[in-house]
Structure 1
Amino acid sequence: MIYPATFEEGAQKLTSRLETFRKRVSQTLGKEPRKISIVLQNQTVESNGNVQLAPRRSEFYTTPPQQGDFQDWMDNLAIHELRHVVQFDKLTGYLRAPFFEQLALAIYGVTLPSWFFEGDAVVTETVLSSAGRGRLPSWEMPFRTNLLNGKTYSYQKDYLGSMKDVTPGFYELGYFLTSGLQNEYGETIVDSLMTRMAKLPIRPYNFSNSLKKFTGYNTREWHAKIGADLTQKWQEQLAENNPANYPVFPVREPGKPESWLLPRRLPDGRLIVLHQSARNVPAIVILDSLGKQTEIVKTGRQTEPNFSYAEGMLAWDEVRRDPRYGKRAYNVINVYDMRTQAYRQLSHKSRYFSPVLRPNHTQVLAVAINETGQTSLDLLDSERGTLITRFPAPGNIHLQTPAFDETGSKAIVTGISDAGASLVELDIPTGTYRMILEGQPQQIERPVYAHGRILFKAHYNGIDNLYILDAENGTIGQLTNAQYGAFNPWFESETGQVWFNSYQVDGYRISHMQFSNSPISHFKVPVSEKHILTTSDTSQSEIWPSKPYKGLKNLINFHSLSVDNGNFDNLANINPGIYWLSDDLLNTTQVRLGYTYNGDIRSSEYLASIAYQQFFPKFSLEYRNRGQVGTAKVIGNGTESLTGLRWREHVTTLKMDIPLVFYRLNHIFTTGLSAATSYTRRYGLNEPQFQDRFIDRIQFPLHYQVYFNHNVRQSVLDLAPRWGQNLSITYRHFPFDGRIAGEHLSLRTAFYFPGIWPNHSFLARFNYQQRGGTYAMANDIPLVSGYDQLHPLPIDNTLLFSYRFPIAYPDWSLGPLAYIKRFKGGLFADFQNVRTGNTFQPRTFGLEFRADMNLLRFYLPNFDIGAKLVYANEVNAPQRVFATYGIGYSY
C-alpha cells in the first residue's frame, strides 16, 4: 500500500479490510491473487479506481462520490478492483515482470470483452457486500427502459454504444450478461470459461468460442436470450407496480438524447434547470411554458450534476485540474448573479461538493472532503468565499447533497456509512446533528424539506421513486409511482407542487404533482430516537507497520518487453522494434532500452532513454546510436555524379517541458514551453575521401517551443470545438557550433469557428516558416493535402481551410469486423505561399469522407478511418485527381 502520509488512518482501515476481501473475491475463480501494489490517490476529487499491468499496480481514488450506493466507498472499490486482480492472475498470471507484463495485458484485453470483466467485477461487488451497483434500480434503468419500450438493440450497439440513442454502458450490460450466466449455470461458470481461455489464449474468438462450448450460446445469442429474459421480468414488475402517468415536459421530437435536470420554479413561473444533451455542452437554462429554452451560463465538468438557486443567484461546483499534475484536482464553487450577469469563482483549490445557497443569507453550504478523508459541512460567505463555520460529520460518515429548510436554520443531508444510507439534520445555530432516519439499504438521494417533513428519492418498491418521511411518527409514505424512475425532488411551498425528474427512453424530463398528505402507500421503517451524534467510529483494527516510501530506491521497475516504446497515442510515432520498458509505480520515471532495424536504409538503431516527471518541469534524456545515409556530389572531368554515403552517429538529447492547463467554466486553456538540445558524434564514414568535408559532430543546437491554446468544451456530437484559438511558435538554431549555421522559425495556428448547423465545424489554419542554412530544406508546418503527390516547391507558408459535418449515425454492424457509429464529411481548400501579388487560389481542394467505428468488437480504441478526394489545382500536376487515406484512433 503506497499512500500520502496524510491518509494514514484511511490506509490502516483499508488494509485490514483488504485481508478479508482478498480471500473472498478469489473463491469463485479458484485463484489466490499474487501480491500487487495499491496506490491510494487522495488528491483527486473524482471517485474511481483501476488495475493495470505494465507495470502491475492498482490505484484507488479515495474521495467518495456524491451519488453512489449505500456502503463505504472504499469497501466497494476494494472488492471491485481486487476482482480484476484475480481475473488478471487467472488468465495470464504466468506472464510476469520483468519481461512479459505488457504481453499479459494484451492477451487479457484481446481475449476478454470489456463487458465480461467489468460485469463480473460488478457481480462480485454486489454479492460480497450489502450494497453494490447490481442492487440499484437507477443503474439498470436505461437498459430496463429500452427493453420495456421495445428498443431491443443489437449486441454490438448495446455493448459499444451509440451517438443517437441511449444504450446501457458495458458495465451495466456486463452485469446482466454475467449474472445471467451464474444464475443459469452456477457460479463456477466464470472459472470454467477463464480456465479454458487461459489454456489456449491464441484461440480465435476465444471468449465466444468458450461460451459456446459451455452454454451452447455465442455472445450474440446470449445477449438476445438475456434481453428476452429481462424483458419478461421487467414487464411483470411493471404490471405489479401499476405505475401512474405524470405530465412530462418539455415535449421534444424523437432525436438525440437530452435531459433537463434538477427543476426549480422561478417567481415568474418559468423553470430553471441544468440541461444536458449530446448536441450541446451542459448549461443552466430557463424554460418557459412552451418549452422555449434560454441559456443562462454554460458549466464546466462536474463530478455529479448539481446547482442551487436562491433569489436570483446560482451556485454550482466544477472540477478543476491542477495546472501541472494530472492526479491532483480540486472541486470549486462557482456563483452567478442572474440580475447582473456576473460570474465569479468563489473558491480556489478547494474540495467542496454540492453547494446550496442559504435562504435570506449571503452564504452557501457545501460538503467538504479533505485529503485525510474527513467530511464536514462548511458554511461559506457567498461574496468572498471565506469559511464561516465548519460542522464535522458525526462519526465521519460520508455526507451528500445538503438542502436548507425555508428559514435557513436547518439543513437535511444524506449520510453514508457501513450501516447504509441515513438522513441527518444539521441545526446550524447550535452546530449539532440529529439522526432522522437510520441506515437503510437504499440509494437515498437529494432530500428536501416539505411542510416540516422530508422528501427524498429511494427505491423501496424496486423502482426509484419519491418518498416522504414524517420524523415525528417514523412513517414513510410513497409519493410517486413512476414507470421508470423519479428523481431530484423540489418542493414549492407556495403552491404545494412537487417538481421532479421523470426518466424517459431518451433522457430525463420534468414532471410535477400536487403534494398530498395521503401518499400512495406508507410503511414504518426503523427510525432512531432523536439524539445528538457526537461519537466517532471506535471500531478496533489491527495496526499495520508503515514506513516512508523510498522513491529513489524504486525508480527502476522493468516489467515488459515490447514491440514499441510504450507510446501508442499516434500511429505515426510507432517505431517497431524490441524495447525493454521500466515504469515506476508512481508514474514519475520511465526508462526505455531498445533496438530497431530500419529496412529502408538497412541499418540498426540502439536506444536508451529516461524521463523524470516529479518536478514542475519534465526532464527527459535520450541516447541513440543509429545509422544514417546521405549523398555527396562528385565533380570531375567536367561531369557531375552523386555518391552514396553511409555513417553511424551517437546522438544524445536533453529536453525540458512545462505543460500547463487551466479552466474557466466550459473554457479550457493549455499553455507551456519546452527547450531541447543535443550532441551528435558521427563516425564510420564509408567514403574516406570525403572525411575532410564531413561534419563529424553537431554541438548543442537549441530548439525552443512555446504554445497557447484556448478551446471551449466539446459536446458528444461536436466534431471539433465550436470556438478555439491555438498558437505554437518553434525556433531552432546553432549558437554553440561555429562550423554549422542555420535557423528555423515556424508559426502554427488553428482557429475553430461554429458551423452553419449544430456540431458542424469550420477550421482555419495559417502556418509560416522562415529558414536558412542547414534548415533550408526542412518543413516544420502542416502542408497542403496531397503534397507528396505534387511537384515539390519551397514552402514559406500555408493557409488551410476545412469545413466538417456529420452525415449520419447508422449504428451499423458489418458482421464481427466493424461497428460504424457515425459517417462524416468535409470540404477543404489548401493554399500555399500566400503573399501579396500572388493569385489567391488553392493549390489543392476537394472532399473528405470519414467514419467513426469500432473494429473486431473491441470497445477501445475508437477508430476514425476515411479518405480525401484531392484535386490538384495546377496545370503541371502529375495527377489532377487522386485520393489519400488516413486512419486515427483515440481512447
Structure 2
Amino acid sequence: MRILAILSVCILQVMSMPISQANFAAWDKPIAENAATQWRVKESEHFAITYPESNVLMADKALNIAERVHLELVPFFGQAPEQKTQMALVDDFDFSNGWATFFPYAQIRLFSSPPDSVEGLEVNDDWLHTLIRHEYVHVLHQQMARGLPKAMRDVFGNIVLAFPHSMTPSFMLEGLATYLETNNELGYGRLQGSFYRMQMRTEVAADRLKTLGDVAVPLRELPLGMHYLYGSYFYQFLAETYGEKEIQHYLQKYSGEGIPAVMQNHSMSSVIGKDFDQLWEDYHQWLNTTFADQIKLLENSTAQGDVLEIENDRQGLFKDVSNSQGERFYFIDNNGEDNPKLTMYRDGKFAALIDINNVLAVDVNEQNDVVASRIITWADGRSWADLFLLTEGRAEKDWQTLTHKSRLRNVRWLDSDRMIASRKVKGISEFVLLNKQGDLQSLWHGEDETTVVGDFDVSPKGDYLVVAVKRALQGWNLERIDLVKTEPADDAIAFYSIKQWAQITNTKAIENSPQILADGRILFSADYDGIYNIFILNQQSEKLIQLTNMLTGAFEPKLISNAENQRKSQIIFQAYTADGFEFRSIELDDAADLSEFSLADKQGQYNYPKPFSLNVEKSTSEAYSPWSSLKPSWWFPFYSATPEATQVGLTTGGSDVLARHNYSLSLGIDWENELGDISVQYGYDNRYQINFQRSHDYVDVFDDRKPEYIVEQDRWIFARNYIANAYEDQLSLNAAIVVEREGTVARDDLFSVSCLDANVKRHKTCEKTLAGLGLKFDSREGYLNSPGFSAGRYFDLVYESNDVLVGLSDSDYSGGILQGQWQEIFDLPGKRSLSFQVIAAQADKNNEALTVGGDNRSAELGLFGRDDFALRGYASSVQGGHNMNVNRINYSQWLARIDKGWGIWPIGAGDLSANIYVDYGSAWQRGNSPEYLTGVGIDINIEVVAFYNLMMPIRFSLARGLDDELGGNRASIGISLPY
C-alpha cells in the first residue's frame, strides 16, 4: 500500500508537468563573443519575467504584451492566478515554441525564435504576442477551480487533483488556446490561416474525419498535431452553435468537479444538453457543411500535378527539405521508419546518397557540392543549427562540419565557393556570408525581432536575393536584396555587401519559398485565394501565372531544367494529402491552361495594431536568484498499513523558474518500529545529481508472524556529468560517488560480520563506497514510426574504486571494478531493427561480487554502481562472481498502431511492438571457467496512455532459460525499455 501511495503521487505530479518542462535554461556559457549569460528579473502587476541581460528590450515588450493579454483574457475565464505568473525568456532553440504549466507554480517559457516557414504559426501579428497569448490561455484555463478542487488547493497546494482542467484531453487544452489566439476581425491566428483550413479541408475531402478517441490520445497518426487542429475547430463549432457563453459555463462547471477526467461528459451534458459523443457527431456534420462548397469547387481540378513515384513506400510527415540544381532534384527522404537520407532524383530515377538527420535546409552548387543546415541538440540544453558540407570528389564521402554553434538555419550557394546563410539570435534575423572553410562575415542585421527573414534564394548571377520577409505588424511578402561586389582584401572573404532592399510584393497572402529562374522570373508558393498554390512572377511586367489549382495545398516548388526545351522543364512541388506530404510534378508550359493576372490585383496590407502598445509599470531590473521560486508549492500525504508496520508520510518537491534546480523529498515515519524512510533527490540541470534513499523491508521469520528483523538499505549517489564532452556531445566524461549500505537489523542486535566471508550464513550488514569515472558515447536514434531505438551505437567504459575515499567511509570492500558495454543497432527496412550488445565486467577479489539473472534491465541503465545484470529465463542472481559477461541479440518489430483513446475516458493506447531476444551470459569467480547460460524470449510492448498525458509503456515478457537445471519458463510484466 505504501508503494502504491507513493507511486500514485509520483504519477499525479508527472502528469502535472509538460514534457517540455525538462527544458532547463541552458548552461551559462557565452551566448556571444566574450559575453556570458547574466540573468535578470523584472516584474509587472501580474507577471515576473526572467531573461538574459542582453535581451532586455524583448523582456520589456513581453511584460507589456502579457499585461494587455491579461486584461483581454481574464473576463473570459472569470478568474486569475492568485500569484504572479512567472515567465522565462530563453534563446536556446532554433525553432519556434513555448510551454506553460501550473506546476509547481504558474509559469510560461518563451522561445524567442520566431517562425519563418509555413507550418501554421506564420499567421501572426507579432510572434511574441501570439506566443504569450496562447500560453497564458493555458495558465488561466488550468488555474480554474472552485468547490472541492479549490479547497484541496488551499490545503495541499499545486497538486494535479486541485487543477481539474489539467486532467482533460489535450485537444480541449490546445484547442482552446489556439481558438483564443485567433483574431477573426484582424485576420491572424491559426484558425484564420490557410494552412489550418487546408488541413481540415483535406480531412473532410478524404472522408477521414477523426473519431473522438483518435483526438483524445494523439500520438503519431496524421495529421501530426491533430489535437491543435481538431481542438480549435471544435471550439469554433461550439461557439457558432451554442455561443461562447456556453463554453464559459462548461469551463466553470468542470472546474468544480471533485473527480476530474471521468466527469467530462457529466459537465458537458449538464451545460449543453449533449455529451461529448453526441457533440462529436454534430461536429463532424458541421465540418462537412463548412467545407462542402469549397471542396465541390476544387475536387475536379486537373491542375494538381502528377505524383512523383518514389521507390520506397514513404509516408510524408512534414514538408521535406528539398532543392534543385540544373537537371537534379535533391531532398531528404524521411519517412519516420528508416535513416533519413539525402536523395537525388534525375531522369526519373532516385539515388540515396548519404545519411543525415534533423535537416532544416539543403542546397547544391554547379559542382555538386552539397551544403546542409541541421539542428543539433547539445548537452548544454541548446538546440542550434549548423552547416555541414559534402564536397564532390572527396576521397572520403562524408559530411564535413562547417560551423560550430553558429545558428545558421537556412543556406544558399552564392557561387562555387561561397554561401549566404540566415540565422536568428535573440529573435533578430541576420544574413551572413561564409566560405568553404566556415569563415563568417555579417552581411545584414535586423534592427529588432519584428523583421523576420524566411526562405530565400540567390539569383543565378549572384547579384541579388529574393527573400520572404515579415515586417512589423504585416504579413509575409517577397522582397529583393541587391548585392554589390567589392574588391577583396588579402585576408578577407567579404566580396559582397548589401546595397538596398526593394519590395516585390505587398499583399495579404503569405508568399513563401521563392526560387529565381534563369530568366529572372520568380517561382513561389502563395495563398492568394485562401489555398496554397504555385505561381510564377515576372518581375518586369508584374504578371502572375498560376501553375496549380489545388484541393489541398502546394508548397516548396523547385525547377528541374530541361536542356533541350526550357518550356518542358519540370517543376517538383510538395502537395499536402491526408497521408502527409508527397512530391508531385508539373511541366512549366502547363501554365497555359491556368489564369494570368496582375500583381496589382492582389495588393493590400494588414497594418495590425501594436499588441505591446500598453506600456505598463515595471520594477527595476534585479539579478536573478533561484531561492524565491524554490520553496515548495505543494505537498501530499500518504498512509500505509501492513501487519508489520504502519507508516505515515508526505512528499513534496520544487524547481526554480529556469528549471535548473530541481528537487523532491519523500518522508515516511513508522511509529511502531521507530524507523523512518526518506528519499531526497536534487539535480542541477543535467550536470549535477545528488540522491539519497533509505528504505526498510519487513520480513517475518517466526510462527507467530511477528517481524524479527528488518532489511535496511541506504543509498547515496553524487554524480557530475559532462565533465568533458565532444562529437556533438555524444561522447562525455562523467564522475560519481556511490555509497550503499545494505543488510539486516535485528530488533535487539545488529549483526556485523565480514561481507566477504562466504562461509558465514548469519545475517550481516555491508557497506560499499565507490568513486569512479565513466566514459560514455551515445549516438542512438529513434524514429517516429519505429519502436525503441532504430539505429546508432552506444558504449561506455567505467572504472570505480573502493579505495579512493579510504578514511572517509567504512567500506567493507576494497579494490575496484572495471566494466563496459557496447551496443550496435542496425536499422532494417521498414519498422524494425536489429541490435547486438556485449556487457563485460571484472572486479577485484575484495570487491562486491557481480551477479547475473532475472529480467530487470533497468538496473543496468545507470552509468555507476552497476553490479546486477539481467539474464532472462533465470532467477535473479542465478550466478555470481568477480567476472561477468552478458551478450544479447534483439530483433524489434512494430506490430500495430492503435493511437486511440476510449472516447473521452482517460485511457488509451499507442503502438504495439515486439522484441525477440537471445541472452547468453555468465558470472564466475577468478580461476574458474565460466558456465554460460542461454535464455530466449519475447516481449510484447504496448503503449498505454492514462489520464490523456501519462505514457506508460507496458511490457509483457515470456522467457525461457535453456539450461536444464537453472533455467525455466518465466513470465513477467513491467515497464518497457527501449533497445
Q: TM (normalized to structure 1)?
A: 0.84
- What residue number does 2:133 align with? 79
Determine which of 772, 778, 784 is the counterpart of 1:716. Answer: 784
- What residue number does 1:787 align with? 874
Alignment pair present for 1:50 and 2:99: yes
Asked if the contact 1:99/1:580 (under 8 Å) is kept, the reply is no
Determine which of 42, 54, 69 is the counterpart of 2:122. Answer: 69
Structure 1 CA distance, aligned partners of 2:89 and 2:771? 38
Secondary structure of the residue that 1:580 maps to in structure 2? strand
Secondary structure of the residue that 2:460 maps to in structure 1? coil
Secondary structure of the residue that 1:25 maps to in structure 2? helix
- The 5-angstrom pairing of residues 433-452 of structure 1 reads 433-437=500-504, 440-450=507-517, 451-452=519-520
Determine which of 14, 24, 43 is the counterpart of 2:72. Answer: 24
- What residue number does 1:824 align with? 914
In the superposition, relative to structure 1, how do residues 97 and 771 fare at CA in structure 2: closer, same or farther (>3 Å)? farther
Tell me the alpha carbon deviations over residues 7-37 of structure 1, each in whole angstroms, 9 at most, x when there is no partner: 1111122222222111212332223344201
Unaligned segments of structure 1, at least 5 residues = 530-535, 565-574, 633-642
- How far is the alpha carbon of 1:283 from its aligned partner? 2.2
- The 5-angstrom pairing of residues 567-716 of structure 1 reads 578-596=650-668, 603-608=675-680, 610-613=682-685, 617-618=687-688, 620=690, 654-658=718-722, 669-676=730-737, 686-687=747-748, 701-716=769-784
Structure 2 CA distance, aligned partners of 1:807 and 1:170? 24
Tell me the alpha carbon deviations over residues 454-502 of structure 1, each in whole angstroms, 9 at most, x when there is no partner: 3322212222112344555655443321221110022456624333222
In the superposition, relative to structure 1, how do residues 691 and 631 fare at CA in structure 2: closer, same or farther (>3 Å)? farther
Determine which of 839, 843, 846 is the counterpart of 1:770. Answer: 843
- The 5-angstrom pairing of residues 484-499 of structure 1 reads 484-492=552-560, 495-496=566-567, 497=569, 498-499=571-572
Q: Which is further off, 24-33 or 54-63?
A: 24-33
Q: Which amino acid aligns with 1:826?
A: I
- How far is the alpha carbon of 1:123 from its aligned partner? 0.7
Asked if the contact 2:666/2:680 (under 8 Å) is kept, the reply is yes
- The 5-angstrom pairing of residues 455-604 of structure 1 reads 455-472=523-540, 476-492=544-560, 495-496=566-567, 497=569, 498-506=571-579, 507-515=581-589, 516=591, 519-522=594-597, 524-525=599-600, 541=615, 544-551=618-625, 553-554=627-628, 556-562=630-636, 578-596=650-668, 603-604=675-676
- How far is the alpha carbon of 1:245 from its aligned partner? 3.5
- How far is the alpha carbon of 1:121 from its aligned partner? 0.5
- What residue number does 2:42 align with? none
- What residue number does 1:806 align with? 893
- How far is the alpha carbon of 1:3 from its aligned partner? 0.5
Asked if the contact 1:12/1:543 (under 8 Å) is kept, the reply is no
Asked if the contact 1:260/1:510 (under 8 Å) is kept, the reply is no
Structure 1 CA distance, aligned partners of 2:601 and 2:613? 23
- What residue number does 1:339 align with? 393
Q: Which amino acid aligns with 2:630?
A: I
In the superposition, relative to structure 1, how do residues 322 and 484 fare at CA in structure 2: closer, same or farther (>3 Å)? same
Determine which of 944, 954, 958 is the counterpart of 1:869. Answer: 958
- How far is the alpha carbon of 1:671 from its aligned partner? 2.1
Tell me the alpha carbon deviations over residues 644-683 of structure 1, each in whole angstroms, 9 at most, x when there is no partner: 655989987654333766565xxx7142312226598999
- What residue number does 2:250 align with? 193
- The 5-angstrom pairing of residues 207-246 of structure 1 reads 207-241=264-298, 243=301, 244-246=303-305
- What residue number does 1:284 align with? 342
In the superposition, relative to structure 1, how do residues 479 and 394 fare at CA in structure 2: closer, same or farther (>3 Å)? farther
Structure 2 CA distance, aligned partners of 1:773 and 1:287? 63
Larger relative contact order (Cα-Cα within 8 Å, sequence gap ≥ 6): 2
Secondary structure of the residue that 1:832 maps to in structure 2? strand
Q: Which amino acid aligns with 1:618?
A: Y
Determine which of 162, 169, 178 is the counterpart of 2:235. Answer: 178
- How far is the alpha carbon of 1:40 from its aligned partner? 0.4
Q: Which is further off, 245-254 or 64-73?
A: 245-254
Q: Which amino acid aligns with 2:597?
A: H
Asked if the contact 1:130/1:441 (under 8 Å) is kept, the reply is no
Asked if the contact 1:396/1:537 (under 8 Å) is kept, the reply is no
- What residue number does 2:862 align with? none
Structure 2 CA distance, aligned partners of 1:576 and 1:285? 62
- What residue number does 1:533 align with? none
Structure 1 CA distance, aligned partners of 2:650 and 2:977? 23
Structure 2 CA distance, aligned partners of 1:660 and 1:212? 58
Asked if the contact 2:385/2:405 (under 8 Å) is kept, the reply is yes
Asked if the contact 2:693/2:715 (under 8 Å) is kept, the reply is yes
- How far is the alpha carbon of 1:222 from its aligned partner? 3.2
Structure 1 CA distance, aligned partners of 2:874 and 2:297? 68
Structure 2 CA distance, aligned partners of 1:415 and 1:605? 60
In the superposition, relative to structure 1, how do residues 538 and 476 fare at CA in structure 2: closer, same or farther (>3 Å)? farther
Asked if the contact 1:824/1:849 (under 8 Å) is kept, the reply is yes
- What residue number does 2:144 align with? 90
The number of aligned residues is: 848
Structure 1 CA distance, aligned partners of 2:292 and 2:408? 42
Alignment pair present for 1:753 and 2:822: no
Unaligned segments of structure 2, at least 5 residues = 1-48, 485-496, 605-609, 639-646, 702-706, 756-762, 852-865
- What residue number does 1:422 align with? 477
Structure 1 CA distance, aligned partners of 2:672 and 2:351? 60
- How far is the alpha carbon of 1:64 from its aligned partner? 0.9
Tell me the alpha carbon deviations over residues 739-786 of structure 1, each in whole angstroms, 9 at most, x when there is no partner: 733345152414123266442222323232425446247771422014
In the superposition, relative to structure 1, how do residues 751 and 843 fare at CA in structure 2: closer, same or farther (>3 Å)? same
Asked if the contact 1:447/1:455 (under 8 Å) is kept, the reply is yes
Q: Which is further off, 537-546 or 797-806?
A: 537-546
Secondary structure of the residue that 2:399 maps to in structure 1? strand
In the superposition, relative to structure 1, how do residues 804 and 98 fare at CA in structure 2: closer, same or farther (>3 Å)? farther
Tell me the alpha carbon deviations over residues 300-327 of structure 1, each in whole angstroms, 9 at most, x when there is no partner: 324x45545553122221222333x21x
- What residue number does 2:21 align with? none
- How far is the alpha carbon of 1:864 from its aligned partner? 2.5
Asked if the contact 2:780/2:794 (under 8 Å) is kept, the reply is no
Secondary structure of the residue that 2:67 maps to in structure 1? helix
Secondary structure of the residue that 1:201 maps to in structure 2? coil
Secondary structure of the residue that 2:869 maps to in structure 1? coil
Structure 1 CA distance, aligned partners of 2:919 and 2:745? 47
Structure 1 CA distance, aligned partners of 2:632 and 2:572? 58
Q: Which is further off, 53-62 or 722-731?
A: 722-731
Tell me the alpha carbon deviations over residues 312-360 of structure 1, each in whole angstroms, 9 at most, x when there is no partner: 122221222333x21x3322122211332352222212122211111x3
Q: Which amino acid aligns with 1:249?
A: L
- What residue number does 1:636 align with? none
Q: Which is further off, 457-466 or 378-387?
A: 378-387
Asked if the contact 2:479/2:502 (under 8 Å) is kept, the reply is yes
Structure 2 CA distance, aligned partners of 1:73 and 1:345? 32
Asked if the contact 1:467/1:479 (under 8 Å) is kept, the reply is yes
In the superposition, relative to structure 1, how do residues 86 and 688 fare at CA in structure 2: closer, same or farther (>3 Å)? closer
Q: TM (normalized to structure 2)?
A: 0.77
In the superposition, relative to structure 1, how do residues 181 and 600 fare at CA in structure 2: closer, same or farther (>3 Å)? farther
Q: Which is further off, 251-260 or 132-141?
A: 251-260
Structure 2 CA distance, aligned partners of 1:755 and 1:825? 14
Structure 1 CA distance, aligned partners of 2:93 and 2:715? 39
Alignment pair present for 1:727 and 2:800: no
Asked if the contact 1:424/1:433 (under 8 Å) is kept, the reply is no
Asked if the contact 1:466/1:479 (under 8 Å) is kept, the reply is yes
